[in-house]
Amino acid sequence: MDILSKEERSKRMSLIRSKWTKQELKVHNYLKGRKIKHKMHPRIPGSPDILIDNKKAVFLHGCFWHKCLKCYRAPKTRKQYWAAKMQSNTLRDNSNKLLLKRNGYDVIVIWEHDLRKDFGFSLERLIK
């Protein structure tokens, strides 16, 4: 049972952004500041968050939505729903990565917790 009404839940969920999140803005500004040519939200099969001109596809994964092994904690309510949701997210992520690799892209995954801690360390591999 949800503790919020349908209207309150709908309002809260509408505030969750799918594009131009804080993570994406951080990485975009990092790349732009170093004059690295990139495209945000490219329309290519596999739907990476960022495409860098040297054939690097970058995914920015939120620890909850993409089930980070370090940070993920399963919700205590609606366990069956969330288990199925997280399994489908993981399967979709894996198939997207495989599709991009088959098309010659180097796939990089940056987790939300990486950007929270030491911002520069995980992004250096974008340049190389």
pLDDT digits (tens, 9 = 90+) for 78-111: 899 999 999 999 999 999 999 999 999 999 999 8
Whether 9 is in a domain gets the answer: no
Task: At 122, give phi and psi (nearest 5°).
Answer: -80, -20
* pTM listed for this prediction: 0.82
Whether 7 is in a domain gets the answer: no
pLDDT digits (tens, 9 = 90+) for 22-48: 889 989 999 999 999 999 999 999 999
DSSP state, residue 110: E
Whether 1 is in a domain gets the answer: no
CATH code for position 91: 3.40.960.10
Give the number of C-alpha atoms closer than 13 A to the C-alpha of residue 46, restricted to the C-beta side. 25
Whether 74 is in a domain gets the answer: yes
Task: Provide the domain count of the chain.
Answer: 1
Whether 64 is in a domain gets the answer: yes
Strand 106-111 relative to strand 56-61, pairing? parallel
Whether 89 is in a domain gets the answer: yes
Query: In terms of residue numbers, what domain contains 115?
Result: 18-127
How far is CA 27 from each of CA 23, 36, 70, 91, 96, rounded to the nearest angstrom? 6, 11, 21, 25, 20
